[in-house]
């Protein structure tokens, strides 16, 4: 096993016409804190007050009132990673619905971007004869990976899973939403994740770095990482937030007018 160190962070700026309350999910998920080589260096410019809390999904959330003008968020950290690719749940059993733990049932239901009611009939026709468990999940990932064409210019914040399926275009969140929705239609609990995913162990992507979206499925009594966009195991996935869909894991939510003015994300392997 080859341990790796990853330097991550971001510089994000918003332009605001008036003082605006904002909710941010811009920290590493608490379950990763034990791997940090040093605490996150989170800063706001101007240096305004902020407070944090843990939400119902276990995410660290930050509350601020952003002043009028330009607000810059920055963060830097170095974290240890196992260097091991995502582990696929080969042979893991898909539980019957009445066997699922109570807290998991939420991830079988439709949500804002995962409109199960519009895709259930199609899902059962397409995947109803596939073997339950991981083979069914992989069949769904193969379908989504082939169905949607990735292009940053096709990003749209209000696109639902059924719309992504019909339009056949989008970004990583659209891949995740469609795969999550189809899994839920097939009674496989699935939840949305967002975080860092650098080009570690794969050819460098010339496009500017962005945060990434993937999803998790509940098989064999625990959650497993899946990624319909790349459709292959990856190294160095760093979770920031998870929830029912992108609503619960948004990097920023402004309760007013906030225009994104800068967005730079960093995720690189560094020497020990």
Q: For the chain, what is the domain count?
A: 2
Tens of pLDDT, residues 80-123: 999 999 999 999 999 999 999 999 999 999 999 999 999 999 99
- Polymer length of the chain: 272
Neighbours of 135 (CB within 10 A): 14
Same domain, 40 and 151: no
pLDDT at 205: 87
Same domain, 58 and 162: no
Is residue 160 in some structural domain? yes
* Contact between 266 and 12 (Cβ < 8 Å): no
Stated pTM of the model: 0.96
pLDDT at 260: 96
Q: For every residue of the chain, which 3-state class applies, written as one string?
A: CCCEEEEEEEEEEEEECCCEEEEECCCCCHHHHHHECCCCCCEEECCCCCEEEECCCCCEEEEEEECCEEEEEEEEEEEEECCCCCCCCCCCCCCCHHHCCHHHHHHHCCCCCCCHHHHHHHHHHHHCCCCCCHHHHHHHHHHHHHHCEECHHHCCCCCCHHHHHHHCEECHHHHHHHHHHHHHHCCCCEEEEEEEECCCCCCCCCCCCCCEEEEEEEECCEEEEECCCCCCCCCCEEEEEEECCCCCCCCEEECCCEEEEEEEEEEEEECC
Q: How confident is the model at residue 150 (pLDDT cuts 50, 70, 90)?
A: very high
Q: How confident is the model at residue 271 (pLDDT cuts 50, 70, 90)?
A: confident
Same domain, 68 and 130: no
Same domain, 113 and 233: yes
Same domain, 102 and 135: yes
pLDDT at 76: 97
Tens of pLDDT, residues 243-265: 999 999 999 999 999 999 999 99
Tens of pLDDT, residues 37-91: 988 999 999 999 999 999 999 999 999 999 999 999 999 999 999 999 999 999 9
**CA triplet 157, 118, 98: central angle to 5 degrees?**
110
Same domain, 141 and 107: yes
Same domain, 76 and 199: no
Cα separation, 100 vs 222, in Å, equals 10
pLDDT at 38: 85
Q: What is the CATH number of the domain that holds 160?
A: 3.10.620.30
Same domain, 183 and 115: yes
Cα separation, 81 vs 203, in Å, equals 19
Is residue 44 in some structural domain? yes
Domain that holds residue 43: 4-83+251-270
Is residue 90 in some structural domain? no
Neighbours of 68 (CB within 10 A): 11
Is residue 89 in some structural domain? no
Is residue 54 in some structural domain? yes
Same domain, 102 and 234: yes
Is residue 88 in some structural domain? no
Same domain, 120 and 235: yes
Same domain, 224 and 170: yes
pLDDT at 196: 98
Same domain, 170 and 235: yes
Q: What is the CATH number of the domain that holds 14?
A: 2.60.40.2250
Is residue 175 in some structural domain? yes
Is residue 92 in some structural domain? no
């Amino acid at each position: 096993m080859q341990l790796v160190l990853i330097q991550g962070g971001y510089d994000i700026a918003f332009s605001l016409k008036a003082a605006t309350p904002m909710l941010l999910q811009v920290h590493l998920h608490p379950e990763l804190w034990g791997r940090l080589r040093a605490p996150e260096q989170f800063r706001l410019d101007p240096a305004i007050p902020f407070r944090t809390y843990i939400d119902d999904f276990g995410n660290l959330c930050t509350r601020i009132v952003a002043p009028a003008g330009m607000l810059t968020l920055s963060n830097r950290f170095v974290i240890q990673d196992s260097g091991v690719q995502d582990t696929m749940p080969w042979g893991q059993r898909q539980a019957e619905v009445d066997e699922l733990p109570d807290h998991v049932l939420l991830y079988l239901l439709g949500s804002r971007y995962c409109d199960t009611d519009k895709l259930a009939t199609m899902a059962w026709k397409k995947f109803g004869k596939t073997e339950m468990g991981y083979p069914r999940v992989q069949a769904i990932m193969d379908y989504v990976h082939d169905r949607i064409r990735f292009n940053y210019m096709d990003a749209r914040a209000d696109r639902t899973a059924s719309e992504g399926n019909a339009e056949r275009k989008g970004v990583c969140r659209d891949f995740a939403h469609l795969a999550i929705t189809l899994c839920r239609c097939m009674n496989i609990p699935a939840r949305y994740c967002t975080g860092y995913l650098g080009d570690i162990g794969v050819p460098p992507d010339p496009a500017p770095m962005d945060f990434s979206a993937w999803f998790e499925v509940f098989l064999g009594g625990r959650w497993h990482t899946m990624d319909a966009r790349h459709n292959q195991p990856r190294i160095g996935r760093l979770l920031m937030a998870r929830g029912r869909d992108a609503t619960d894991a948004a990097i920023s939510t402004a309760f007013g007018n906030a225009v994104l003015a800068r967005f730079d994300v960093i995720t690189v392997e560094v020497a020990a």
